[in-house]
Structure 1
Amino acid sequence: MQTSKYTKIAVIVMVLLFLVLSVISCSTHVHTGLGPGGPAPTGKKVPPGQAKKMNGDKSAKAYAPGQQKKH
């Protein structure tokens, strides 16, 4: 049985393609946001003083739950 030069090249290309796809499919997951410096996790309330700082206000009274007026 005689194999052509093109068949050998095709086999090498397919093996290399398989190896490249195997390496590319590996992934890692990095969880951020729970430590200091990360964004606040969703569902948690921001303290009134921090909300004041984020909005640039001088008073935290508007953000405190006990200071909200009932309509």
Structure 2
Amino acid sequence: MKNSKYTKFVVITMVVLFVIVSMLSCTIHQSNSSNSSNKLPPGQAKKMSGSKSAKAYAPGQQKK
């Protein structure tokens, strides 16, 4: 009888510890989408600067 009481206690303790460790190890990863939302399209940047061409503001059009 004593053996089963201790076994039951140990099993319940292990389950509770597992749940606690599982909850503590959860992390939330947030993407940094605010950076991309602050960027203007090339045409809008051109209008704001007064340039004639939007080529300088388009990332795919940069000279290497």
- Report the TM-score range of the alignment, normalised by the length of the smaller protein: 0.3 to 0.5
Greater helix fraction, Structure 1 or Structure 2: 2
**Larger relative CO (CA 8 A, sep 6+): 1 or 2?**
2
TM (norm. structure 1) is: 0.38
